[in-house]
Structure formats: structure tokens, C-alpha cells
Amino acid sequence: MNKSLILIQCRDEVGLVALISGVLAHHHLNITAMREFVDETSNHFFARIDCVGAVPEEKLLYAALREKLPELSEVVINPNPEKRIAILVTKEYHCLADSLVRNHFNTLGAKVCCVAGNYDHLESFTKGFNVPFHHIDHQNKSKEEFEKELLDVLTPYKPDYVILAKFMRILSPEFVDRFRGRIINIHHSFLPAFIGASPYRQAFERGVKLIGATAHFVTSDLDEGPIIMQRTIPVNHTFGVAEMVKAGKEIEKAVLSRAMQLVFEDRVFINGNKTIIFE
């Protein structure tokens, strides 16, 4: 039996679920799972629908839904199930390593088309997985020059998403706009705590009892984009800086991996500076 996935965002109105169900039934599609949510503040409706049946021409189903739904509705039918991603790195390997292993065993949910770094420390490791690595040195260059070279590398790969796997460079608003809603970053804390350098030393010196990580979409406001996933783990007085760093890296990998999975499965909707996530 053919399966289809339909994503809908629109202004909320009475009867939307019945309307959508009616259109799908008319096209002989049976709903197997439907998750919906209304943001009452913005009066916006979100839905993720799994259905089975003999799929009609997508453009006909799209037109039928758009005709019935409120004006300016966004409808996506059967988004590409395997996204293409580019990963940006600096020197830390743990998030890259986790993603490359998952990519190698086809459990990432996306294809890593390339890795780019402003240092070459991870080049041989990346190439060991038969993934192209591009070293783009940032030194003695303006941000504009560096980002132009980075875009020249990324553009031919046509990535659906850009993953910042501990990429320690602040991207310009112009660069972010090129991939609006498609850059995912992993941050070493519950934002905005312990920002800047040496976050785990800051946490150690503060005597925290929880450390965590945050995966979020990148916007022009540093570390303030829509949050996709957050987790914490307990620590205690026996944890020195080295132990906190080790524990922090583990949770960073886990949070980034889960965030990517949710995004690649089209379970995440951006709603202003928040996210709607149908897990």
C-alpha cells in the first residue's frame, strides 16, 4: 500500500480537521496517523498527516487542499524522505564522529554530502568515511571573504540542511538568510547559560548540579533561534572539569542526533521563535 506524508500550516478556522479529512477521503486516502496543534496566540494551525492509498497526482491533491484551506496556507506533500546535509566543524570531533558513523550505517536519516572546516584537523578522519572534506581557512580573511568561500563550496552540493557540529564561528545574517530555517546548531548548555568560552569550566566553578545541551535553528540573533531539543544530566561534587567535558560531549551528541532525526522526519514546524514538534 502506498504511503503519503502531508504537512500543513495555515490560519486556524473551525472545522479544519474535518475539511482536511474530507479532501483526503475524496481522493481515496486513508489517514493512519494525524497530529495537529493550534497556537492560540498566533491563531495558527499545524498538522502532520500519514495516510495510505492509491496516491493521486500530487498536484491535484495539492490544489484540492489549497482550495479548501484558508488563504496563504502552506501545504507540502511527500517531502523528500532523505535529506542532504553539509556539516561544518572546527576542531572538536565528537558530534561529527557520531553523525558520520550513523551516515555510514544508514541510520542518520539523511545523507552527509560534505564536511567543511575552518581547520584541517578532521580532514583525514572525515575522508576515512569516504565523505568529501573542504578546508576553508578563516585566518587573515574578512568574514565576507570566508563566507563567500564557504558558500562556493556548499552551493554545488545543494544541501537541505547545514549542521553546525561544534563549528566555532559566528555566521553573518547574510549567510543565515541563505539557509533560513535550515541551519541547526548544538549548544553546550540550556540557552543562554554559560555562553562563550570554557562553558564546562564555568559550570564547574559555579557548582552546578545539572548540565545540558540545546539544539536549535540558527537565526541572526546569536544562540536565540527556535529550540528543537534540550536535555540535562545530573552531575555532582565529584565531577571535575574533565569529567564535565566528557559528560557534556555525550549529551551534545545525543541532543544533536535526536534533533536531526526529528527534523529529517519532517516532525518539526517553525512557529516564530518556537517550534511545534510532533514526536
Question: 10-42, pLDDT tens digit by residue?
Answer: 999 999 999 999 999 999 999 999 999 999 999
The Cα 108–Cα 161 span in angstroms is 13
Which amino acid type is present at position 67?
A: E
Phi-psi region of 181 (alpha: psi -120 to 50; beta: other; left: phi over 0): left
Digits of tens for pLDDT over the chain (279 positions)? 689 999 999 999 999 999 999 999 999 999 999 999 999 999 999 999 999 987 778 889 999 999 999 999 999 999 998 899 999 999 999 999 999 999 999 999 999 999 999 999 999 999 999 999 999 999 999 999 999 999 999 999 999 999 999 999 999 999 999 999 999 999 887 655 676 678 778 888 888 888 889 999 999 987 789 999 999 989 889 989 899 889 999 999 999 999 999 999 999 999 999 999 999
Residue entry with cell 531539543: 229
Is residue 177 flagged as an active site residue?
A: no
The Cα 31–Cα 145 span in angstroms is 50
Half-sphere exposure (Cβ direction) of 60: Cα atoms closer than 13 Å: 7
Neighbouring-strand partners of residue 183: 162
Neighbouring-strand partners of residue 187: 214
DSSP code at position 146: H
Instruction: Count the helices and strands in the chain (H runs, E runs).
Output: 8, 13
Cα–Cα distances in angstroms (integers) from residue 199 to residues 5, 208, 256, in the given order: 40, 11, 17
Element (H, E) at 26: helix 16-26
What is the DSSP pairing of strand 44-52 with strand 3-11?
Answer: antiparallel
The Cα 150–Cα 118 span in angstroms is 9
- Sign (positive/negative) of CA torsion 108, 110, 114, 118? negative
Cα–Cα distances in angstroms (integers) from residue 83 to residues 24, 100, 171, 250, 264, in the given order: 26, 15, 22, 25, 6
The Cα 61–Cα 64 span in angstroms is 5
| pLDDT confidence of residue 191 | 52
The Cα 236–Cα 99 span in angstroms is 29
Residue entry with cell 566528557: 246
Kindly report the pTM of this predicted structure.
0.91
Query: What are the structural domains of the chain?
Result: 3-78 (3.30.70.260), 83-277 (3.40.50.170)
Write down the catalytic residue from 39, 50, 120, 223.
223
Cis status of the peptide bond prior to 132, with omega within 30 of 0: no
Report the first-to-last Cα separation within the chain, whole angstroms. Answer: 24
Neighbouring-strand partners of residue 45: 10, 38
